[in-house]
Every structure is written in structure tokens, then in C-alpha cells.
Amino acid sequence: MAGLLEAVSQSLAERFSVVAVGGELSGFTRAASGHCYFGLKDADGQAASLRCAMFRRATAMLDFTPADGALVELRGRVAVYEPRGELQFIVEAMRRAGAGTLYEQFLKLRARLAAEGLFDADTKRALPPHPRRIGVITSSAGAALHDVLTALARRAPQVEVVIYPSPVQGAEAPPALVNALRLANERAEVDVLLLVRGGGSLEDLWAFNDERVVRAVAMSALTVVCGVGHETDVTLCDLAADLRAPTPTAAAELVAPSREALLQQLGGLERGLSLRLDHRLQSLAQRLDRLALRLARPSDALARQRRVLELLAQRAAAAPGRRIEMQVQRLNHFEQRHERAQREVLARQRTRLDALDARLQALDPQHVLARGYAWLDDGAGGAVTSVHTLLPGAEVRAVLADGRVDLRVLGVQLSSQG
């Protein structure tokens, strides 16, 4: 067997000493040693595929980071990997030649769905803080389910897990995943959904870039956490989900709070509540002690009340006398004010009467007669004020200061001013 493989290897080396080939990268991995291993498939969708190995010396000369779906041109030689009898291509140089067919489809679909708003951040929902039941959509035979169950059992053994099995690779995977999402939403028996699978090439993960699956994730009424592949793998379901996890294990850790952390938090709350309760009890105990001390000496309280009553009795006995005394003082004050007001009123009236008397005296006709004037009347008491009322021979009477004189008019003469 070894001889045959060696002969085949020599034949290939002689016929294909240096070969250049182009294709699409698939299943690209980088080992800890620095060597890279991947597959190269036809970019036009043909089924042909070639296993490739690129050793560390050649990898160090790369001017870009290879990734699944990238279209590249390789230069190297064809050889046989004798331990497994496999044909492989030993890559000595690699350069970019553009994006592969699948990757182009990925970019176009992502742009179209993003334009529809399926990936908008404002549509994302927060995770339930304390889920009681978690749903897992994945293959029942895959390593992803084992990783999720292990993480949940370690972090949150109290959480129930409901599994919605579905293939996660191949042509039957997209409709099965859509059906699992629909079933989980119809049952509405879980608080959050995990959509997970392990790592793989771009074509291995292509079911999670299927438009039907992406739309089902975006329209889910349940919160969806997507953990597909490794940390560097990004699918359209990751973008449509409410939260993206780098791995299935990380998805389980994100949705299930650690039981130990919750117990520590509860312990802290319990300690805080206990301290507050002790403080409250101590405060009430001190108050009770003070009240007990007051009740322990009732005689002191009675003595204080007795003194208060005596003081009130003294004030009650003295209150009528003081009130009467105050009223007497008030009446005396009012009496003095009344007498003073009367005197002032009498003085003002007396002054007014004196003024009126002086005015009256000034107008007294007797005073005028005393200055040598006489008052004439017609004998019947009517005053004679004009010569026009007199005729010669008429009798008049003149009133003087000290008596009356009867007179007869001898003649009437008008004054020049009249």
C-alpha cells in the first residue's frame, strides 16, 4: 500500500510540478501551529472540491485574512497525503480573486433584508431576567445541544428546557427550522428561544442564511437568541435575532443567570433585610425600655399631675379677683375719659355761646338807640323806612333809648340822593 501511494505521489509530482487553480474557500481553519487547512470548490456551483494545506511559511506571506466564501487563486503542487491516502493540494501562494458565489448571495440578501428593517436595533427585545423555561431549536444529535444542556445544568439547574428538534444542515433544514419556530410560538410554553448549532463552513451554515428562516426569526413573538457556529461566524439569523451569541454555550450563558450569582444576590438581600430588621427591633426595644421606666414609677407621674392640678386650682381661684380688678380699672379709666370728654364738650359749648352772645349783643337795637339813633313806627308797630310812606299831618312814634315820643308830620322833603 505504501509503495503504491508513493508511486502515485511521484507521478503527480512529475506531471503537476507547479499548478495554479482558482476557486472558493470552504471550511477554512488555522491550527495552533500556524498551518491552514481548507477546501477549495468551484465558484460556479459545481460539486468538485479539493482538500488544501497551506503551511506556516506560506501563510506568513499572506496580505489578507482568508475566510469562507472568498474567491482565491492558489499556486502550488498536487500531492498525496499518505496516512489517509487522500489527494491534497499543497498551497505555496494565495491571492484574492473576489467574493465567492455563496458569499455574494449572502451580501445581496443581507442588503435587501436590512433595507426592509429586519435587522433594525429598535426592534430588538430585552431578555427575560429570570426565565423559568427555555426552548432550544437545534439538531437532537448535534454537539450544540450537548453544550447548551451542559451550560444550563451548570449555571441554572432550576430552569426547564424544551427541545424543538430540527436538522440544521442540508436542503431539509430551512423548512424544518421554520416549522420549529412556528411550533414554539404556537405553544408559547417557553420564555425565550435558543437557535443554535456548531461551527462549519459557509455552506454548512447556509440554512441560517435562508430567507425563510431569517424572516421566521424576525417575526417570532418569543425572544430569540441565535448562537450559530464559532465567534467569527456571522449569519443572517444572528442579525435578525434579538441577541447574537458567539457560540451555543455562550447563548445558554446569556439567557440563564447563574444560580450561584442569584443565590449570592439573595444572600446579600437577606443580610441587608436582617440588618434592617435588627436595627428596627433594637429601636423599638429602646423605646419600650423608656416606656417601661416611666411606668415603673407611677408615683412620680401622680406627683407631677398633682402639682399641675394645684397650680391650676390656684390660677382658677385667683382668676375671678384679677378679672374683677381688671374690670374695675377699666371702668375707672372709662369714667375718667368720660368726665374729661364732658368737660371738653362743655368748654367748647361755653366758648361758642360766648361768641354767639357777643354777636347778639352787637346786633341789639337798644345799643344802637343808645348811640343817639331813634326808631320810627306808624303807631301800629310797623317800621317807617321811607318818606314816601308819610304825609303831612300824619302821626308817628319815635322810640329812643330811654322812652317814646309821639310826633306829627309837618312836612315831607325828599333828599337829593332819593
* Tens of pLDDT, residues 107-130: 889 999 999 999 999 989 999 988
Q: What is the mean pLDDT of residues 335-350?
A: 86
Mean pLDDT for 221-229 is 92
Query: With 70 as the cut, is the pLDDT of residue 298 above it?
Result: no
pLDDT over threshold 70, residue 45: no
- Burial (0-12, 13-18, 19+ Cβ within 10 Å), 349: exposed
CA distances to 3, 219, 238, 265, 320 from 241, in Å: 55, 9, 5, 30, 92
Q: What average pLDDT score do residues 54-74 get? A: 87
Highest-confidence segment of 2-16, 222-236, 259-273, 382-396 = 222-236
Task: List CB contacts of 290: < 8 A, sequence separation 6 or more.
Answer: none
Is the pLDDT confidence value at 91 over 60? yes
- The winner for highest mean pLDDT among 55-69, 144-158, 253-267, 316-330 is 144-158
In the predicted model, is pLDDT for residue 98 greater than 80?
no
Residues, the chain: 418
pLDDT in tens, 16-44: 777 888 888 888 999 999 999 999 988 66
Give, rounded to a whole angstrom, the gap between the first and last alpha carbons of the chain: 186
Q: Stretch 78-107: mean pLDDT, rounded?
A: 80
Instruction: Report the pLDDT value the prediction gives residue 190, as an integer from 0 to 100.
Output: 94
- Mean residue pLDDT of the chain comes to 84
Query: Cell triple for residue 281?
Result: 427591633
Per-residue pLDDT, 199: 81
DSSP state of 388: G
Which among 55-59, 306-310, 377-381, 405-409 has the top mean pLDDT? 55-59
pLDDT at residue 354 tops 80: yes
